[in-house]
Amino acid sequence: MEPANAVPQRPRRQRKLQVALFVTCLADLFRPSVAFASIRLLKRAGCRVAVPAAQTCCGQPAYNSGEIAAAVPVARAVIETFEPYDYVVIPSGSCSGMLQQHYPALFEGEWRQRALALAAKTWELTHFLTEVAPLPAVTGVAAAGPGVTYHDGCAGLRELGIKAQPRQLLREQCGLQISELSRPEVCCGFGGTFCAKMPGISAKMVDDKLDDALATGAELLVGGDLGCLLNIAGRARRRQLPLEVRHIAELLAGDPRGPAIGEPG
């Protein structure tokens, strides 16, 4: 029993999650607004966010091209850079899949264990914001702006099961209902190096994706992988189609003010 004059103990403040943002090469070089939007979202979810300056490419281009010997040192550098943090969050299903699914296969022994540990704490952005650190609820949100359709990137969909999460966030945070594509699980034709090796097939695939998007009546196509979005936006601009393309992080962060992907700044 505590003495009568005991000082009440203040409840211990819960430690904020230490989250490192893996920016990705495409965001760094072509769409930095995706990284800044991701930072704002993670802070809104109550996380402490770091962006390690030593981070590099995840090694996926070399890995997908069969250059395993070139991918290994890149993967080691990523593991060393991100080991100190509670979580690694990536606004890309493709890069997330590389760290989660493919890094452990590159190594044996101690490095394999380190790769597995990193994989276990690596999350794609929308998955993290629904399963680990949910965003605060938004009250009185009402749908506004153009109709929206959503493109599911192959890596996020097939390797990580990312499908319901982005739709949930768009509905709860932005009040948006998705006008679904008739074939949402079909590849857009990007496929990393595939679009360079097979340009004719890639162009037909992205044309089919664009025609499907236009058939929904949507004026805005949203997705979670910049590789897909750059491919779709580039083809839409070549065809002079009335379709904006944006990364989901930009919408969730309330920052759709700048030019859409593929539009001049």
pLDDT of residue 240 exceeding 60, the answer is yes
Tell me what pLDDT residue 144 has: 54
pLDDT band at 143 (very low <50, low <70, confident <90, very high): low
Give the closest residue to 36 by CA, choosing from 265, 263, 264, 257: 257
pLDDT band at 256 (very low <50, low <70, confident <90, very high): low
pLDDT of residue 85 exceeding 90, the answer is yes
pLDDT digits 0-9 by tens, 24-36:
999 999 999 999 9
pLDDT band at 138 (very low <50, low <70, confident <90, very high): confident
Backbone angles phi, psi at 65, to 5 degrees: -90, 5
Look at 119 and 198; give whichever has higher pLDDT: 119
Strands (E) in 173-243, as ranges, are 220-223
Instruction: Give CA–CA dist 254/173, Å, rounded.
Output: 9
Helix (H, G, I), strand (E, B) or coil at 247: strand
Each domain of the chain, given as residue ranges in start order, spans 18-130, 140-252
Tell me what pLDDT residue 142 has: 57
pLDDT band at 192 (very low <50, low <70, confident <90, very high): confident
Given a contact cutoff of 8 angstroms between Cβ atoms, the answer to whether 102 and 34 are in contact is no
Tell me what pLDDT residue 16 has: 86
pLDDT of residue 56 exceeding 60, the answer is yes
Residues 6+ positions from 200 with CB-CB distance below 8 Å: none
| Average pLDDT estimate for 116-121 | 98
Residue 249, CA distances (Å) to 4, 12, 39, 135 in order: 53, 32, 9, 12
| Average pLDDT estimate for 167-194 | 92
pLDDT digits 0-9 by tens, 159-180:
999 999 999 999 999 999 899 9
CATH topology of domain 140-252: Rossmann fold (3.40.50)
Tell me what pLDDT residue 11 has: 44
The two three-digit tokens of residue 261, written as one number? 């992907």
Rg of the chain taking only CA atoms, in angstroms = 20
Sheet holding 122-124, edge to edge: 48-50, 18-21, 87-90, 122-124
Instruction: Give CA–CA dist 138/176, Å, rounded.
Output: 13
